[in-house]
Structure 1
Amino acid sequence: MSTRTPPPTPPIPHRAAGRAAPAPGGSRTTDSHLPGDAPPHPHRGRGRWVAPSAAAWWAVGGALTLVVTLLGGTLPVGAASDTGFGALHALPGETLTPWVAVLALVGAALAAWTWLGGRRHRVARAARTTTVASVAVVLAGAVVLVDASILARLGYLPVTLVMAPFDPGLRAAFQEFVTPGTVLQVAVLAGGALLAASTARFVRRGAGACGSCGRDPDGDDPSWTSPASAARWGRAAALVAAAVPTLYAVTRIAWVLGIPLGFSPDDVAELAGGDGWIAALGLGGFALVGAVLTLGLYQRWGEVFPRWMPGLAGRRVPVLLAVVPATVVAVAVLPAGLSLVAVGLEGGQLALTADSWGAVGPALLWPLWSVALGAATYAYWLRRRGTCAVCGRG
């Protein structure tokens, strides 16, 4: 009588296929979930600090602003701003201050809702839509409080750090980099970024997806979020995001060289005769470097350090090393562009003539630059996000 070898045990399907293997006795393992279920630990892992930080940030800001309002003080906003000009520069600071307090308190309430709402259950589509719309209104209010000074300071900072030790005038200018208005605008931008990130996590959790990576437990992710698709539309967004600062850089560098590109010859001569060429060269060079780095959001050298970088050649570029700076620039460019457009429309200074388009034209494209850079950065993250540390998908 012959014996027959029993058939091999079928392989256990990988949990990325949608359902984890049941544990002995028919129960599921502690880290598994069925399709359609929310991730087992929606607040565990990376990013769980975002929502409470957003709520605390806006709550503290709202409380401080309310105290200033009740004491009859004035924030450095509108006509009381010490940073230059903005979309609200014509409004009195004492008029805007109470509204800033209202905006901050509403932002605190929304941040708390995105933190606590839907922690254990799905959230209805209508509630998610209402939340996103409300947050969009708050973020729009935050954007108009910021002007172009933040972006200007980022652009001037490299050349100021290099030249300040040799130029007393630049040293004095460097000491004025941080003002109450600057601190307020940075705080507003930081709070806006936290609220936007917290809202994104809330929407993901409310739809039953992973709050960290946004992947659907059933695997029904939108096709445009796949690495292959993100590579295609991310490349187009990166090219647009690199073209706008390149145009800006070309005009400024041309002026330094004495070429009246989109600028009157008299203004170019005056620029070359004073210290203005330092600022023009610094801003132009900063914009050109930024444009080149933007191309790395879809190029191979944006994922692996090139050979000519000693000590780093061949190593993987950390995702956050590209995502964080690009996000900071995208966030700073949007209010800068909108404020310049608003001021230009009010003053009738947006006419593009042969002697003015170089000074005005590139700034009109800054809102497009911000959106394109944000899209290119998001596509880069989609391509390189890898396996999620929270839900294990990817």
Structure 2
Amino acid sequence: MSTSTPRTPVPTPTRGPGRRNQDAAAPPGAAPPARAADVPRGRWVGPAAAVLWAAGGLAALAVTLTGGTLAVGDANDLSFGVLTPVPGATLTPWVAVLGLVGAATALRAWLGGRHGLVARGDRALTVAATAVVGLGVLALTDASILARLGYLPVTLVMAPFDPVMRAAFQDFVGAGPLLQVALLAGGALLVASTWRFVRRAAGACESCGRRHDGHDHAWTTPEASARWGRRAALVAAAAPAFYALTRIAWVLGIPLGFSPDDVADLAGDDGWIAALGLGGFALVGAVLTLGLYQRWGERFPRWMLGLAGRRVPVGLAVVPATVVAVAVLPAGVSLVALGLGEGQLALTADRWGAVGPMLLWPLWSVALGAATYAYWLRRRGTCRTCGRG
């Protein structure tokens, strides 16, 4: 029998209605179709998650065994989360445990389901392990990540002229903030890798989520995702707009949900710069969120010279929206938990503006994530991996 590799793949029937491209399958050892030469989108997520968690877990274990302390708990003087009072030496071994559990879970998500379907219980166990690691990440991160993200534009502009802003920028690259960024990045990668594993293990394309048997969920169609995505985007835009309204009002001297004395103190010690930066950042984010269901979110508007009428790259909307959604979740959870612990969530007439908008941040994160996913569902097009579209 000849062992030469056939050059023409053998076509197989379509697997679902409305499909534009038929799959092409080849016998064992056959060369893949031409379109399979492209690297499937997202294939790097699994190994990246496994490597990041393994490296982080081993590094934390090495710090623990040598008697060192990571910049967590009270060892990170730049944080203000629920674990801030806990000694860093106590938390460091637990960070190592979290890292190693995350590495094992990421390895399972990366390699699992590559040779056939996986039992539902096995899938559920992997999802549960990912949830446990995610809760650990939320406990170790706090609102300082989102605050620095909001301050960053103002800091970059003012740093060359203001030594205080230069010092603030140096804080951005300290051990504590970088560790929190690494934890959030690792958590996001692990969730994405587990999501791909669940798709693959349940008989769907790991990249686009379309089922191999063609029976896709009705809520994933472009029409359905446009409907529920619009509602999610409106909620996701309302939360930062409410926050921006209070901060910009303070800059203008209006005591909206804040006492007149506090507003005056804000202006007296240059606190208006921070309020304006955070409020402006939130307002811009609210407007951009509306683009997740508006036409100008898919094609550049006419006033954008050189880009008018061109298609907006999907990643240009999905990537920043995902980053904000990931950063907002630990910020909201930590502030609510911290406020409950210290009894500072009383929404009085001269206090509600300081804490009220932040109570919406967990909802903001979930709604923004849902709106971003709906936007991606509408615009995902033909999948490079499975050829469906």
Alignment TM-score, normalising by the size of structure 1? 0.90
Structure 1 CA distance for aligned equivalents of residues 223 and 13 of structure 2: 23
Give the match for residue 182 of structure 2: 187
Q: 2:242 aligns with which of 239, 243, 247?
A: 247
Structure 2 CA distance for aligned equivalents of residues 159 and 346 of structure 1: 32
Amino acid at match of 1:244: A
Q: Indicate conservation of the 8 Å contact 1:155/1:282, yes or no.
A: yes
Give the match for residue 125 of structure 2: 130
Change (3 A) 1:209 1:13: closer
Q: Indicate conservation of the 8 Å contact 1:18/1:217, yes or no.
A: no
Q: 2:69 aligns with which of 66, 70, 74?
A: 74
Deviation at 1:169, TM superposition (A): 2.0
Deviation at 1:86, TM superposition (A): 0.6
Deviation at 1:16, TM superposition (A): 5.7
Deviation at 1:15, TM superposition (A): 3.0
Superposed CA deviations along residues 73-130 of structure 1, whole A, max 9, x for unmatched, are: 1111111113221121121111111011001000000111111122111101111111
Change (3 A) 1:19 1:233: closer
Deviation at 1:314, TM superposition (A): 0.6
Give the match for residue 216 of structure 1: 211
Q: Indicate conservation of the 8 Å contact 1:350/1:360, yes or no.
A: yes
Aligned length: 369
Q: Indicate conservation of the 8 Å contact 1:16/1:392, yes or no.
A: no
Q: Indicate conservation of the 8 Å contact 1:82/1:180, yes or no.
A: no
Deviation at 1:17, TM superposition (A): 4.1
Deviation at 1:273, TM superposition (A): 1.7
Q: How does 1:1-394 map to 2 (within 5 A)?
A: 15=14, 17=16, 29-30=24-25, 45-394=40-389
Change (3 A) 1:95 1:14: same
Superposed CA deviations along residues 291-343 of structure 1, whole A, max 9, x for unmatched, are: 00000000000000000001111100000000000000000000011111111
The answer to which of 311-320 and 111-120 deviates more is 111-120
Q: Match of 1:69, SS?
A: helix
Amino acid at match of 2:183: V
Structure 2 CA distance for aligned equivalents of residues 269 and 330 of structure 1: 33
Alignment TM-score, normalising by the size of structure 2? 0.91
Which blocks of at least 5 consecutive residues in structure 2 are unaligned?
Answer: 1-10, 28-35
Superposed CA deviations along residues 21-75 of structure 1, whole A, max 9, x for unmatched, are: xxxxxxx95269xxxxxxxx8x962211111111111000010000000011111
Q: Indicate conservation of the 8 Å contact 1:242/1:292, yes or no.
A: yes
Q: Indicate conservation of the 8 Å contact 2:232/2:370, yes or no.
A: yes
Amino acid at match of 2:356: G
- Report the identity percentage: 74
Change (3 A) 1:13 1:138: closer
Structure 2 CA distance for aligned equivalents of residues 306 and 18 of structure 1: 34
Structure 1 CA distance for aligned equivalents of residues 302 and 149 of structure 2: 29
Structure 2 CA distance for aligned equivalents of residues 99 and 307 of structure 1: 53
Amino acid at match of 1:15: T
CA RMSD after TM alignment: 2.1
Q: Indicate conservation of the 8 Å contact 1:18/1:218, yes or no.
A: no
Structure 2 CA distance for aligned equivalents of residues 154 and 337 of structure 1: 14
Which structure's CA Rg is the greater one? 1
Amino acid at match of 1:339: S
Structure 1 CA distance for aligned equivalents of residues 244 and 387 of structure 2: 44
Which blocks of at least 5 consecutive residues in structure 1 are unaligned?
Answer: 1-11, 21-27, 33-40
Q: Indicate conservation of the 8 Å contact 2:12/2:24, yes or no.
A: no
Q: Indicate conservation of the 8 Å contact 2:332/2:361, yes or no.
A: yes
Amino acid at match of 2:384: A
Structure 2 CA distance for aligned equivalents of residues 229 and 168 of structure 1: 52
